[in-house]
Structures are given as C-alpha cells and as structure tokens.
Structure 1
Amino acid sequence: MKGFARPETMHPALTMLLLALLVVAGMCIGMFLAVSVVTVTYGVNLLRLPDVLASPSRYSYGWAVLMWLQGLSLLAGFGAGAYFLPVLRGMKPVEYFAPRRPVPAWWLVAAMVLMIVSMPALSGLVAWNADAHLPSWLYDLEKAAREKEDQAQALTAFLTKFSTTTRFLIALLVVAVVPAIAEELTFRGVVLRQFSRWTNSMHWGVWLSAIVFSAIHMQFFGFVPRMLLGVLLGYLFAWSGNILVPMAAHFAQNGFQLLLLFLQQRGTISFDADANEPMSWPLMLISLVLTLGLLYWLQRQFAAHEAATTEAHVLTGHGVQVRAEADVPPAAPPVAGHTLTSHGIETPPKAPSV
C-alpha cells in the first residue's frame, strides 16, 4: 500500500491483539477518570452510578454523567490505545498515522463535503437495513437485537436532546470530535493497516476493517450503512496516506447530523434528521452520482499529489530526467549527473577513499 512502506516485524494478528489489550486498558483508565470526575462534581459514587446509567433522565446531571463516561472512555480507550501502539513498538506516531505529510488543507474540506453529499444516498440503505428481518427460525435473536437497539436509540435520543447551545457544543465535542479522532486512529490507522499487511491487499484491508468497524458498534439493523461509511473512510486514508483526512470526514458525518438535530429542535428546519426514512429517489440518485464522482476525482488528486512528491529530478548530459523514488534506491545517489533541488543544481559528494 503506497505511503505505508515502513516495514513492521510483528505479525498483524499479534499487532491487533496488542491493540485490543491497549484499548481495554485505556477504557478502564478512561472510566476511572470519568467516575472520579462525576463523583467529585456531582457526588455520584459507585453505588449510585448504576441507577444514573439506567435512568439518566431522572437526574438533573444524568446527561452530563453520560457525556463524561462516553467521552473519556472512548478517548482513552480507542484513541490513546491506538496512539501508543506504535510508541511501544519503537515507532513515531506521527510517521505511523500520517506517513504522507503535510497534505493540502483542501483535502480535508473535500473529504468533509464527500461525507455530507453521500448522506442522501446512504439514507436508502439506512431505511432498508432498519427494516431487515432475519429468517423465522432466528426470530428470538431478531427480537432481542431490536429490543437492544431500541434501548440504544432511546439513549441516543436523550443524549442528542439539546436544551441549550452549550449542550450542543458539548455534544459536538463528545459525539463528533472524540469519535473522529479515537475511532479513526484505531480502525483506519491500525486495523486497516494490519489487515492490508496480512492479506497483502489494500482493498481487503479497507473492507475488512470496515466490517470490524461496523460490528464493534453492535447494531445489526444499522450494520450495512455503517460498513459502507467505513469503506469510504478507509479509502480516504489509503489514498491520502494521512489520518487527518478520514478524521475530517468522520467529524463531518457525525457533526452535520448533530447540527441538523439542533436546528430541528430549535424550529429552524422541519426536516427530521433522526428518522430512518429514505429520502426521495431523485435526491438519492443525485447524491450517489455526486458521491461516486467526488470519489473518482479525489482518488486522482491523491495519486497526482503522490506522484508529484515522490519524483526525483536528475540533471544529466541529456537534460532533466524524472525518476520515481521507487526506481532510485535512497541509499544509492546517482554517480553521474547532478541533482536538481530547490536550492539549485547540486553535485553529489564523492565517495571517501578507502
């Protein structure tokens, strides 16, 4: 996979096992910190905490407690866990997660636009998956899954009920910013990379990591659209070579939905952003065409940028020749000719005599 050429010696399966251990440890630390904060701030001890979590709407501080728990556990678990993985293996996190840097700022904007443009097209899949049914012999499993997802939906509705602008901004931080950082570091930064190594295929890495990304959310009736979202984020990372690109896209996906809910609750718009109803066919079709077009254009832009930044220009007796870095070993400077750099024409140093 281009841009991720630094060799790794640990087997991908062992790397992901180490990641899982770091995530679990980080979540435990995050939960401890969150419980400490809510205990000091709201007087909620460990004995009362289960009651608050079971019925947060009964407590004036229930919303804040849930936000602390969700934000710190996710950030310390998936965020810090993934971040410290390369550190434990003697690698620099910046080089591990963003080997191709810096990237143009418009890449981040384009990734955000892509996510927003794709929402109408995905609404059809959301509606289809929400109404999907398992075979009759799995009726009990489907019933249990729907009950669990109804509970999760009720909790989500409670967390996204914004009585004030301050609540909206806090939710934007916890529900949009933190997941964009933490989940992208884990699922694109590590899981995608390791599956790509294991299968020797960037495409398999993108799709397998997207499946894991969707499965970890434990929502069967939203599995397919979330998986496709993971695929989009995966290709953005694989093509751009910089984790900031899928982070920006992930933030746009969650943040735009929160913004629609906030505007709806304030009466600014009448659109129900929390419904599982598909949008009109013309709108979904236009969204699909624009999404595919943006994907194609972005892939070409990423490839062009990579080609422009990985070329070596060598001045020889025949003029200026362009050679890709892959064709010229870094440790073997040209023995004949002069290198054309931003400082002008430089003559390669002579090898020391033995």
Structure 2
Amino acid sequence: MNDSGSKGISYTAGFFMAICFTIAGTFLASMLAVSIWPLLTGRGMSSFAEDMLNPAYSGSAKIIQSIMAVVGFLLPAFTTAAMLNRYPARLMGFTPAQGTVKQLGLVIGIMLLGLAVSGSLGYLSHQLPLPASWTNYFTTLETKYNQQVAGIIGLNSFSDYLFSLVVMAFLPALCEEALFRGVFQNFLSRSTRNPWLAIIVVSLIFSVVHLSGFGFLSRLFLGIVLGAIYHYTGRLWLAVLAHFINNAIALTALYYYKTSGKDLTAALNETEGSYWGLLAIPAIVILFILLQKARPEQPKQQSDLLDF
C-alpha cells in the first residue's frame, strides 16, 4: 500500500495507540465534566449522579455529553490519525461528500431495514433463557441507562427536540464513527488485511462499551452494518449518516411519546416486539451487494488510502 502521507508508524501500532489515547481522552473528559458541572448548575459533585437523572438539568447534561463525545472519542481519533499520516481526515475516510445518489439511497435503505432487524434482536435478547443473576444484572444496567437517557434528553419543547438531534443524535454519530470505524476498524483492517475480521472485532468492542446486556445483540448488529457501509464505500460520512439516522429515529419516537404524555423511562423500558424484523436480513444483504457495486472509481492517490 502506498500511503503518500504516511509518517512511518504501522497501523498495528496505531490501533493500540488509539486505545491508549481513548482511555486518556475519557479520563480528561471526566475531569472536565467534574470542573464544568458546578459552573453550569451551581450544584456540587456529591449530587452529580442524581442530578444527571433530573430533567431540570437536561441542558447542562447535554453539554457534558458533548464534552465526553468530543474529548473522549473524536479528539483521540484525530490525534492518532495525525500521528500516522499528514492527512488525518483523508486517512480516516472523511473524503468530500461526493459519492453517488445511488450510494446515499442504498445506505438509507440499509439503515431503515436494519432498524427492523435491530428491534427483533432486542426482543430476542429478552427471550433468551439467561441465568437469573445475569437477568437481574442486565435489568439493573438497562434501568439505570434508561433513567439517565430520559433525564438527559428532556424533550420538553420542539426547540429542545432539535437541540437533542444535534447533541444526542448527530454528535455521537460523528464522534463514535470517527473512532470506531475511521480509526479502530480502519487501522485493524489495514494491519491484518482482513476487513471482516476488523468489522467483527470492532463491532464487539462497540457493543461492549455501551454497557447494555439486553442491547448487546442490537448494537453488535448495528456495528456490523456501519462497519460494512464504511468498508464498501470508503466514506466515513456515509457511516456517520447511517448512525445519525438510527439515533434520530429513536429520538423522534421518544419525542412523540413525550408529546403524547407518556413517561420516557417507561417508553425506554418497553420490551414488546417480534421476530418479524429478522426477515429483513436477506434484503439488507442484497442492498449491500448493490452498495459494493455502486462504489465510484477513486483517483489513484486516494484509492490507495481507501483500499482496505
């Protein structure tokens, strides 16, 4: 591979550097949160965990979430890419948003069908005959997570909904895709020359870090879909768009529940569903085949960077 901007550091080293930078970034983000929270709310850190669940502080909580995403994910991703290459954005796949209309349509179709599969996998997770200790632990994790989400997103007005689309839907999509696909999957794929090994491994990491037992299979599937979109297009912005679609639809559904007078925590804790969504898997495979064929030709210098 001829990477014209390479600084001579291997992608294997870059992969582990990214892990170290992410740990450091998460620690730095936590320190910033500790410093900023009292300034935003006038509240001490002794009540931080409780206040994060309080919708009265949802605006401040969104700012903290933004800091965690940018400093914990986006900054480590760009830092690592910049250490490996003089053109970090291009290395990660942040090429100009040119692509084809066909690619865009296929990605949207894949994600819409993927939501049906993800929902069925979530339902399946609740039907698995898990040990009672696992079920109790997963339920506790899910309850705490849903309470936090309900407290942070607020959704008390349409303007709050629009702000949440940026902070809770777009920003996590951008920051997570930059790190998990643009760096972790990208570097692991280049170092092993096995794109699907990289997709599976990074998708497992992606699902684990979300700390959701019942949501593990759904997020694993989402990670694989996003990884495949990145692999077959070479354009990170398409993976960001797909991730944003997933987040935005979930957020819009919650806004609908809230405006209908339904409790957000109750809506998040719902476990109803079916297996019908799994029938969308063959259609998703077909769309991915079409997506692979729809990838436009790249200039030689750029294709070298995207050939993974």
Into which bin does the TM-score normalised by the smaller protein fall?
Answer: 0.7 to 0.9
Q: State the alpha-carbon separation in 2 of the partners of residues 99 and 227 from structure 1.
A: 23
Matched, 1:26 2:22: no
Q: Which residue of 2 aligns with 1:129?
A: 125
- Of 139, 142, 156, which residue of structure 2 is paired with 1:149? 142
Measured after TM superposition, the shift of residue 114 of structure 1 is: 2.0
- Aligned equivalents of 1:147 and 1:40: distance in 2? 31
| Distance in 2 of aligned mates of 1:175 and 1:128 | 26
1:270-307 CA-partner distances (Å, limit 9, x unpaired)? xx9743322473x653x3344233222212111xx13x
Give TM-score scaled by structure 2 length: 0.83
- What secondary structure, in the 3-state scheme, does the structure 1 residue paired with 2:199 have? helix
CA distance in 1, matches of 2:172, 2:181: 12
For each residue in 1:6-44, what CA deviation from the matched residue of structure 2 results, as whole angstroms up to 9, or x when unmatched?
767444443223112222332344344444443333223
SS of equivalent residue, structure 1 residue 60 = helix
Check the 8 A contact 2:62/2:153 in 1, yes or no.
no
CA distance in 2, matches of 1:161, 1:300: 42
Aligned-residue CA RMSD (Å): 3.1
Runs of 5+ consecutive residues of structure 2 not aligned to the other structure? none
> Cα deviations across residues 78-114 of structure 1 (Å, max 9, x unaligned)?
1111011121234211221127655326334542332
Q: Any idea what the Cα deviations from partners look like across 1:158-185, whole Å, max 9, x if unmatched?
A: 3344221122122212221111111111
Residues 149-168 of structure 1 aligned to structure 2 (within 5 Å)? 149-168=142-161
Task: State the structure with more CA Rg.
Answer: 1
CA separation in 1, counterparts of 2:62 and 2:108? 25
Alignment of 1:118-267 (within 5 A): 118-134=114-130, 136=131, 139-267=132-260
User: TM-score, normalised on structure 1?
Assistant: 0.73
For 2:86 and 2:46, how far apart are their aligned partners in 1?
40
Q: Distance in 1 between matches of 2:173 and 2:126?
A: 24
- Which residue matches 1:83? 78
Closer/same/farther in 2, CA of residues 233 and 4 from structure 1, 3 Å limit: farther
Once the 2 structures are TM-superposed, how far is the Cα of residue 75 of structure 1 from its aligned partner? 1.2
Instruction: Give the distance between the partners of 2:278 and 2:221, measured in 1 at CA.
Output: 15
On the 8 A contact 2:25/2:73 being kept in 1, the answer is yes
Q: Which amino acid is 2:108 matched to? A: M
Report how far residue 245 of structure 1 moved: 0.9
Cα offsets for 1:181-239 (capped at 9, x unmatched): 11111111111122213432111111111111111112122111211111111111111
For 1:58 and 1:100, locate their aligned partners in 2 and report how far apart those are by CA, in whole Å: 40
Aligned partners of 1:18 and 1:39: how far apart in 2? 33
Aligned to 1:277: 272
Select the structure that is richer in strand: 1
Q: Determine which structure has greater relative contact order: mean sequence separation of CA pairs < 8 Å that are 6+ residues apart, divided by chain length.
A: 2
Which letter maps to 1:170?
F
Does the 8 Å CA contact 2:7/2:84 hold for their aligned counterparts?
A: no
Within the candidate set 97, 109, 114, 1:113 is matched to 109
How many residues align? The count is 297
